[in-house]
Structure 1
Amino acid sequence: MIVRIMPSAKEFKAVSYNTNKIDKDKGELMKVANFGPLQGLQQLRPEDYRNYLKMVSATNKHVKLPQFHAAISAKGKEYTKDELTAIAVQWLGKMGYGEQPYLLVYHKDTKNNHIHMVTTRVGKDGKKISDSFEKVRAVKQLNVVLGIDEKHDAKSDIAKALTYQVGTKAQFMMVLESLGYTLKQQDGKLAVIKFGKQQDEIDQPLIEERLKNYTPDTDRKVQLKALFHKYAAGYDTTLIKKYGKYTSGFAAFLKEKLGIDLIFHASGDKPPYGYTVVDHAGKTVFKGGEIMSLKELLALQKDDRFEAETVVAAHRKQADSAHGEEQRDYYAAILKAALYNYPDFIQGLYHQGLTLTRQGEDFYLGDPGTGVYMDTADLLEEKDFGHMAEQFSQYTEMQEEINRQHIYIPEPYIAPDIDDEAIHGRNRRRKKKARTNHR
């Protein structure tokens, strides 16, 4: 679920925009609140609501753009109109608008259910409602409404990760990364980042102490090996490269149904040389070779197809690619930073000086400063790619609605269409210039 605050405006055109949705049966008026005696009248017109909002706004001449217009969007049909209404009411209250006159209009004409909120930034006491760190607070308060206690959840997840049997620090980090966190080493500590900010930190000696207590679970190794043999009979172990990482039908089944992550390790476009088993069910991380060698795993089924198809495809990709491994790693890192280290993904792209263009089901990351364009499927794992696509889809839906209101908004975030040469053409080397955002 995302929340987006639309640009402020002098007039309250958002009222007409939303009531037009109702007239066309593309929206539904869910709640009208705090409009005083106006709510006792019958057959109210859009201008009646606008005039009331203008009257309240006129008590503070210093606020030149009083319209407050925001939307909360759910993933698909995950939340009903009534659930979104309840969430919007609570969110407005936490943002300081609970006692303001406001309209809530549910929109049902896009693939993601969402609700719009229209009110004024001027309180009935004539004071402007604070907009300090508004976008950051918007995300934080939505998490509060949804029952997502960021810091509490981070502490809980860290405590959970520390119960896993891990043999290396990298394995410990894999556990937290699988729970959606970004990790950063600094000053002898491991910063744990989510929702655009540091939620907690772990003293590295605590991790080192945990590593000393590592005891391989021999029985679980035997169980896993048996599971591998059992389910390889029904699910294809042939490796394919998807969203920049290797996986298989067999690996997808283990992850979804049994809580066992197979993380394949590869260098550049070469086939995997090894793998790690993150066993969430057994709270243990194993080197893949402790269960069975990669060669043995792949030989459980269709080994000839792996040699004939996967290896050839990997070498073809290497020949066709205009981007080196170091450059891919660099852009993968800053794309993930934009996705997870900012309250808003599009804000993160803008801060990094990047653009994102969609062509069909493909997404291309652009760096206009260097002329580099890269397929995001080569940069992100499946989970991260899906999260990016969801954020982009919901943002573009909101952006299209803004554009339909005939409000001019600069577009620094989304790149125009780019031709095939720009995407697949010659590689232009990045000039060695420092970015302003150091991590």
Structure 2
Amino acid sequence: MVAKISIGSSLYGALCYNGEKVNKENGRILGSNKIIIPVDGKADIGQMAENFRMFMPKMGKTKKPVLHISLNPHPDDRLSDQDFEILAREYLDKLGFGEQPYVIYKHEDIDRHHIHIVTVNVNEEGKRLNQDFLYRRSKKITTELEEKYNLHKAQREKISPDTPITKIDPTGDIKRQVANTVKMVGMRYKFQSMGEYNAILGLYNVRCDTADGRVNGREYHGLVYFATDDNGNTIATPLKASRLGKFASRTAIDGRFERAKEKIDVAPTKCKVADVLNQSSGKDDFVAKLKERNVDVVFRYTDEGRIYGVTFVDHDTMTALNGSRLGKDFSANALNARFSHQSQPTEQAPTAKVVPIPTPTNTTSESQSTSSAGTAPAPTQSQSANSNSGDYDFTLPGLDLFQPGQSFNPDEAEFRRRMQRKKKGIRRRF
């Protein structure tokens, strides 16, 4: 059985997380101590918070008085609700929290059922309970319970350099999967910005957002992680970095940004991308050929479909690089211009058959009136020749931009330029 202990400051947050599971029928309340549980089994989060505060001092020096504990038996251990409650109460007694107010929840949103306990580590006098060697004592207690109740020995999943990173499985333990993905990405890859970090996480259906604000008058700068589907839609409750571990915190990720600057070599990735770009016939071909070279490219688009960001994730060098880091030719603007141009039709598109009309007179006014009346201008000699050579008439794309308008006389234009120069000369003399 694995016990995970989180020490925090937000009692309401811990109660809300577990209460929502219960109220969405993804869990149930198994028991409590000194806390009133509604008869209907629903979680009245506000009332529970008030019950807790009755046993906590109004003023205290302990900044993090909340303990949020999860007990995770081995998947092969089939335990009843009564078994879970007995384990939880005995665990708390041995840990020294048996007389504290607490609530025991069972989570059923994944196949591996487990329990969560919310309690506080200060007594009614405001004195903090003994937390010395808390995690070491917890490990000893779980081992004793495994032996006493003949449970399987469950160990924390260890991550090795060979552990593959996989996409989030919506039917599995979301929190554990997100934590493992974040930990392995941080251990293996180099990145220098939040965009590059998210480009890697997004390959495995995880997203990270910054969270800035004020809590109790103090500035707060943190990270929030999301599990997503293949389309980027959130599929589970967001997870604060503090719930995953220190490795997921903003301090840890900012530190990775700084350390990566000295380790990254853009040359290998730039060589691959440049070679593939020269061979590609279009964006899809570009993406496919890079994939063959173990490089993923992540495009970011505006609502209008324009590329405004691009990141290359090189799995050989374990590096994520925004396009601009490779050079101007690989920036989002350059690739958008290139692929937008390549997406234009290369052949002349068939249009409605041009009906010849009598050639208008040479005056400008008559030409303009003909155009405004909605009739097509007379075809040129080359167009007429083409119209007789087949069943379709073709026009060059964009030809309709050249509408009859005011004529241009180069002699008159040169005369106007000379007059302007003379006027400037006169003004200088005076």
Q: Normalising TM by the smaller chain, what interval?
A: 0.3 to 0.5
- State the TM-score, normalized to the length of structure 1: 0.37
The structure with the largest alpha-carbon Rg is 2
- State the TM-score, normalized to the length of structure 2: 0.38
